[in-house]
């Protein structure tokens, strides 16, 4: 199933995108209050310059989709998700300050410029680190038993363990294969747990413990 057609993924994606945009707006508010040289706080910040916040959110939406940030929700490692967050936050905040008329006037000194970029990157990176570590967990783990440890079986395992699917809740229990010599061995990090002769005995013994059995034979 493609990620773009997964309702759970889309719900999580847009909820996270909304929170990300709010955090970017908080970063901009901090910048305007403490580091911006013109007097826009607090009355003029939102009432007369709402377009500043809209442009920032639009840029985030563009870059996060362009660089497939939210597909990295299911990256094989948390580092890949956080690394992509760092890059998207950096390029969003940098390009935002360089847009004339639709963003705050470019600061006359370099310090506010670097502070806004640094705090935006830090806020979003730390938030995504927390999200990826503690909140981005599948509600139900789907256990999968793969029949056949040949080329097709290994390909099925690779697809399930791929960046787009590895954290969607699929848990490969192992392979079952015709070759007794493979039993007990390890193929690409997935264990061959039984031969095909023992398949039905094994299935009965572990009845109701599998959500899916995928066949790689034929």
Pairing of strands 190-195, 186-187: antiparallel
DSSP SS3 for 106: coil
Distances (CA, A) of 185 to 1, 128, 155, 199: 30, 37, 17, 16
**CA separation for the pair 186, 141 (Å, rounded):** 22
Last residue of a domain, one of 99, 117, 135: 135
Residue 26 clears pLDDT 90, i.e. is over it: yes
Question: Do 177 and 193 have their domain in common?
Answer: yes
Question: Do 162 and 191 have their domain in common?
Answer: yes
CB-count burial class (<10 Å; 0-12, 13-18, 19+) for 102: middle
What is the rounded average pLDDT of the residues 174-188?
Answer: 85
Q: 171 near 143, Cβ under 8 Å?
A: yes
Question: Do 119 and 199 have their domain in common?
Answer: no
CATH number at residue 194: 3.40.50.720
Question: Do 111 and 185 have their domain in common?
Answer: no
Question: Do 71 and 157 have their domain in common?
Answer: no
- Give the tens place of pLDDT for each residue, 42-92: 566 666 788 999 999 999 999 999 999 988 766 556 788 899 999 999 999
Q: Is this structure's pTM higher than 0.85?
A: no
């Amino acid at each position: 199933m493609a990620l773009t057609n997964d309702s759970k993924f889309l719900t999580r994606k847009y909820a996270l995108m909304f929170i990300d945009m709010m955090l970017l707006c908080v970063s901009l508010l901090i910048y305007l209050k403490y580091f911006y040289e013109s007097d826009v706080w607090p009355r003029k910040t939102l009432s007369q310059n709402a377009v500043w916040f809209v442009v920032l959110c639009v840029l985030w939406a563009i870059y996060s989709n362009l660089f497939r940030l939210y597909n990295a929700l299911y990256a094989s490692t948390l580092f890949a998700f956080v690394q992509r967050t760092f890059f998207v936050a950096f390029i969003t905040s940098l390009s935002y300050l360089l847009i004339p008329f639709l963003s705050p006037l470019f600061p006359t000194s370099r310090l506010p410029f670097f502070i806004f970029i640094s705090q935006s990157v830090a806020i979003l990176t730390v938030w995504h680190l927390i999200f990826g570590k503690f909140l981005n967990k599948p509600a139900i783990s789907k256990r999968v038993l793969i029949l056949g440890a040949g080329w097709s079986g290994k390909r099925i395992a690779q697809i399930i363990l791929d960046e787009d699917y590895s954290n969607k809740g699929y848990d490969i229990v192992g392979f079952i294969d015709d070759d007794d010599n493979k039993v007990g061995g390890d193929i690409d990090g997935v264990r061959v747990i039984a031969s095909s002769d023992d398949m039905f005995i094994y299935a009965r013994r572990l009845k109701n413990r599998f959500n899916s059995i995928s066949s790689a034979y034929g």
